Amino acid sequence: MNHVRFTRTVATGAVLVLLCFALAGCAVNQEKEVALWRSVLDHGTPKEAPAYAVDEPLTLQKAMALANANNEQLALAGEDYLQALIAKDRAYSNFLPTISFAPSFVAQDTSKYGSDFVPPSALDVAGEASMDLHPGRDIPATQAARATAEQKKAELLDRQSLVLLDVAKTYFQILTSERQAKVFEHSEKVQEKRVADMQTRYDAGAAPLVDLSQAKAQLAQTRVSLDRAANDARNGRAMLAVLLGVSSVQGPLSDRLDVPKAVWTPDELLYLAYDNRQDLQAAHARVEASAKRLDAAWGEYYPSVSLNLTNYFSRQSFPDDVSWTSLIGVNLPIFNAGITHQNVRQAYSLLRQAHTVESRTRREVLRDLRVALDDLSSDERQLKDLAEQVNAADLALDQSESAYTAGAGTGLQRLVAQDVQLVAMLDLTRQTYQHDVDYLRLLRAVGLLDPSITATLPVAEQKAAATAPAATRPGDAS
C-alpha cells in the first residue's frame, strides 16, 4: 500500500511539473517571432531601421536599408515564412504524446446489483497520455512542411530583391524627372526670350504672325513638359516614401553606382543564377514539398497505431485498487468512401503544377539574364554616342559664347546653344541612370541583389556540361 501511495505521489509531482512547463510555454515572445524572419532579410542578426529625417539627403544605399527595414510587403512575406515554420513545428508535434490532467466525478442511482462495491458517487483524479502513430502519413508530411518552410524563405528573399529593385527604379526616376525639370526651366526662359524677340520683329513688320504663333506654341509646350516633369518627380517621391515606409521624402537625392563594364555572357552567369536565384530555389522547394505530400497521401492507406495510458492519483470508482490502465489500438483502413483516393489524385495534380512552375521559372531566369545583359550592352553603346553629342553641344556653346563676346552673335543664340547643351546632358544623364538600374536588374537576375549593394559579378567557374545536372544545364533552359 505504501508503494502504491509513493508511486501516486511521484506521478502527481511529475504532472505538476509538466503543468508548470505547459503554462510557461503558453507565452509568446513576439519580438523573438519577428526576429526569425528579420534575420533572413538581414542575412544574420536583425538590424534596427536606420534613423531618417524627411529633409535629409538620401543615398540609394540608405534608401534600400530603409525599405528592407520598413516595407510592408516584406513584413507580409516574413509572416508567411513564420507561419510555415509554425506549420513545420506543428507537423513534428504529431510524434509527441498528448498529456492531460483529467479529474472526473460520477453520481448515479443505487442499484441492487453491485451495490456492495459500486458507490453512488465517485471522484477520480487521473492523468492521461495519448499518442496516435501514423508513420506512413506523418513522416512525409513532416518532410513536406520542412520543404514548404524553405520555399517560403526563398520567396521572402525573392520579394526582398523585387522591392529593392523597385526602390532603385523609383529613386533614379526621381533624379531623372528633377533633372528634366531643371532643363525645362532653362528652356522656358529661352522660349520666353524667343517669343519676346519674335513679338518685336512682328511689331516691326519683319516677321509673319505664324512665326509668332509657333514661338508661343513652343513656349506653351515647354511649360507643359516642365509641369509634367515636376509632377513626375513629386509622384516619384510619394511612391518612394511608400516603398521606404516613411512619411515623406523631401531631401536631395544623389547617388551613382560603380557599374563595371558588361563583359559577361549568359552561360558564364547562368550557373550563378541557378545557385542564387531565390524564386528558382522556391520552385525547387515547392516540387519537393509536393512530392512529400503525395507520399503522405499514399500513406493514408497504411495502418496506424494509437496508444493511451491513464494513471490514477486518486480513484473512488470501481475497481478502486487499479492505479493505471493502458490501451493499444491498431487501425487498418478498409473503406472511407474514396477520400484517400481523391487525396492522392489531388496530390498528383499539385505535383504536376509544381513541376510546371519550376520549368517556367527556370526559363524566366534565363530570359531575365539575357535581357539584362542585352540592356547593359545597349546602355554602354548609347552612353558612348550620347557622350559624343554632349561634346558637340559643348563645342557649339563655346563657339556661341565666343561669337557673343566678339559681338558677332546675339544673346538669344547663346541661350539656344545653352539649351541644346542642357538637353544633350539630360539625355546622357537619363541614360546613365538607366544603366545603373539595368545593372541592378542584372544583380537581381542572378540572385545577388541585397540592401548593401556590395555584391559583384565574378565570372562563373566554367563547368563541363557533361557534369552539370540535366535540369540546370544552360542548353536545357533555352
Could you read off the pLDDT of 323-364 as tens digits, one per residue?
888 999 999 988 888 899 999 999 999 999 999 999 999 999
The CATH number of the domain covering residues in 2-477 = 1.20.1600.10
Question: pTM for the full model?
Answer: 0.82
Q: How far is CA 96 from the centre of its chain?
A: 34
- pLDDT at residue 115, rounded to an integer: 59
Q: How confident is the model at residue 468 (pLDDT cuts 50, 70, 90)?
A: very low
Mean per-residue pLDDT, 250-255: 86
Question: Among 88-92, 180-184, 274-278, 298-302, where is mean pLDDT lowest?
Answer: 180-184
Q: Give residue 10's pLDDT.
A: 53
DSSP collapsed to 3 states, the chain: CHHHHHHHHHHHHHHHHHHHHHHHHCCCCHHHHHHHHHHHHCCCCCCCCCCCCCCCCECHHHHHHHHHHHCHHHHHHHHHHHHHHHHHHHHHHHHCCEEEECCEEEECCCCCCCCCCCCCEEEEEEEEEEEEECHHHHHHHHHHHHHHHHHHHHHHHHHHHHHHHHHHHHHHHHHHHHHHHHHHHHHHHHHHHHHHHHHHHHHCCCCCHHHHHHHHHHHHHHHHHHHHHHHHHHHHHHHHHHHHCCCCCCCCECCCCCCCCCCCCHHHHHHHHHHHCHHHHHHHHHHHHHHHHHHHHHHCCCCEEEEEEEEEEECCCCCCCCCEEEEEEEECCCCCCCHHHHHHHHHHHHHHHHHHHHHHHHHHHHHHHHHHHHHHHHHHHHHHHHHHHHHHHHHHHHHHHHHHHHCCCCHHHHHHHHHHHHHHHHHHHHHHHHHHHHHHHHHHHCCCCCCCCCCCCCCCCCCCCCCCCHHHCHHHHC
Average pLDDT, the chain: 84
Best-predicted range by mean pLDDT (15-19, 83-87, 336-340): 83-87
pLDDT tens digits along 39-73: 999 988 777 888 989 899 999 999 999 999 999 99
Q: What is the pLDDT of residue 268?
A: 79
Q: What are phi and psi of 326, to 5 degrees?
A: -140, 155
pLDDT for 318: 75
pLDDT tens-place string over residues 366-425? 999 999 989 988 998 999 999 999 899 888 878 877 876 677 766 667 677 777 888 888
Phi, psi of 266 (to 5 degrees): -55, -40
